[in-house]
Structure 1
Amino acid sequence: MSEHEPTAVTNLDIYGSEPLPWSRPRDLLPESLTKMETPVFLGTASPDGRPHSAGIGAAWHDGEIYFVSGPGTRKSRNLAANAACTISVRLPGMDLVLEGEAQRVTDPEAIEQLAAHYAAEGWPAEPDGEGGLTAPFSAPSAGPPPWHLYRFTIHTAVGVAGAEPGGATKWTFA
C-alpha cells in the first residue's frame, strides 16, 4: 500500500479545507499499527448481510496490512464467504476507514516472513507448518491457534482529521 498512490482524490470537507494528502495517513500507519494501544477494527458481513465488527491486531509489513484470525471465528467465516471488508483505525490526529478485501495468505515464505515480523514486534508467532501461525498467546477475539493470516488490499480510504490541518478526504485506489 505504501507504494500505491490514489488514482482519485475527493475532498469531503464542508468547511473549505484543502484535500488531505494521502501521505499523511500512509506515513502514520507503519508506526501506529505496531502499538497495542492503537484501536483497529475489522468490519465484515455475514452471508445473510448482518454486519460484524471485531478488534484486531493489524501489522504493517512491506507496505501492506496483515492480520490473523482463527478459522472458527465469525470474522474468518464471514471472510471465507465474502472477502469485502473494512479496517478502521484511529491514527494520531486522524480517523481512517479503509475499504477493500482480505485474502488468506497460504504461501509458506510469506507466512514465515510475517511470523518473523510479528516476533520482532513482540508477539512470538511461528509458522504452524500447515498454512497458519501459532503462538503461546493471542487476543481472545482471534480464537484458538492456529490462526489464518490475511492480507488486506485497499480499494478506498476515508480520512477525517481531528488535528490541524483539518479536513476530510476520500482516496480511491485502482
Structure 2
Amino acid sequence: MNEPTKTKNLDRNGLPALPWSRARDLLATQTPKENLTFFVGTVRPDGRPHAAGVGAIWVDDALYFVSGPGTRRARNLAANPACSVSVRLNGLDLTLEGEAEHVADPATLDRVAAVYREGGWPATVESGGFTAPFMAPSAGPAPWFLYRLRLTRAIGVAGAEPHGASRWDFSR
C-alpha cells in the first residue's frame, strides 16, 4: 500500500492533520462512478505550464489517466514526466504530485480497462493502449496511452467535517 512517509498539518486554525486514508478512500469510492473532473498539469519543453481535464481513476492504490499520444499532455510527459493532478472530491480538494509513467503491460491495461468499464467508459485493450467507441474530441485517434502517477506528494483541503488541511509526502 502506498502510505505517506511524512504528514504535515497545514491548518492554521488548530485543527488536527487530516489522515491520508480519507483522501485515499474518497479516490477509491468516487472513481470511476462519480462525475469528477481531474486536471493534469504538465510542463511544456519551453517551461510554460499546461493543464487539461482528464478522466482519471484510482485502481489498486494508484491513480491512472489516459491521453492521446499526439496531445500536448502526452508530448509534455514524454519530455518531462513531472506532473500534478487535481480534483474536487466530495468534501476534499486534492492535488497529487509525482511523475507519470506510460503503462503498456497487458495485465495492468486489462485491470484498468475493467474499472473504466464499471464507470461507463467502454474501454478495451488494443495495441498497448485503449480504444472505445467514444473519447474526448481532443484526444485524437486510438489507441490512447495509459499513465500511472507515481505519487510523491499530495495536498488535501477539507471542505466538509472534519475540516483541516494536510500535506502527505511519499518516498520513492
TM over 0.5: yes
What TM-score do the two structures reach when normalised by structure 1? 0.93
Aligned to 2:97, the other structure's residue is in SS state strand
Aligned partner of 1:149 among 146, 150, 156: 146
Aligned partner of 1:47 among 45, 50, 56: 45
1:90-114 alpha-carbon deviations (Å, 9 max, x no partner): 0111100000011000112221222
Aligned partner of 1:90 among 88, 101, 104: 88
How do 1:1-174 residues align onto structure 2 when only pairs under 5 Å count?
3-35=1-33, 37-128=35-126, 130-174=127-171
What TM-score do the two structures reach when normalised by structure 2? 0.94
1:12-50 alpha-carbon deviations (Å, 9 max, x no partner): 111111111111111100122213521211110011111
Query: Is the 2:31–2:119 contact (alpha carbons within 8 Å) kept by the matching residues of 1?
Result: no
Whole-angstrom distance in 1 between the partners of 2:110 and 2:159: 38
Aligned to 1:78, the other structure's residue is in SS state helix
Query: Is the 1:41–1:56 contact (alpha carbons within 8 Å) kept by the matching residues of 2?
Result: yes
| Unpaired segments ≥5 residues, structure 1 | none
Whole-angstrom distance in 2 between the partners of 1:116 and 1:150: 15
Mean Cα displacement is larger for which, 141-150 or 44-53?
A: 141-150
Mean Cα displacement is larger for which, 25-34 or 46-55?
A: 25-34
Amino acid at match of 1:47: P
| Unpaired segments ≥5 residues, structure 2 | none
Point out 4+ residue stretches in structure 1 off by more than 4 angstroms: none
Deviation of 1:140 (Å): 2.2
Identity value in percent = 58
Query: Is the 1:54–1:141 contact (alpha carbons within 8 Å) kept by the matching residues of 2?
Result: no
How many residues get paired? 171
Mean Cα displacement is larger for which, 111-120 or 55-64?
A: 111-120
Whole-angstrom distance in 1 between the partners of 2:138 and 2:62: 22
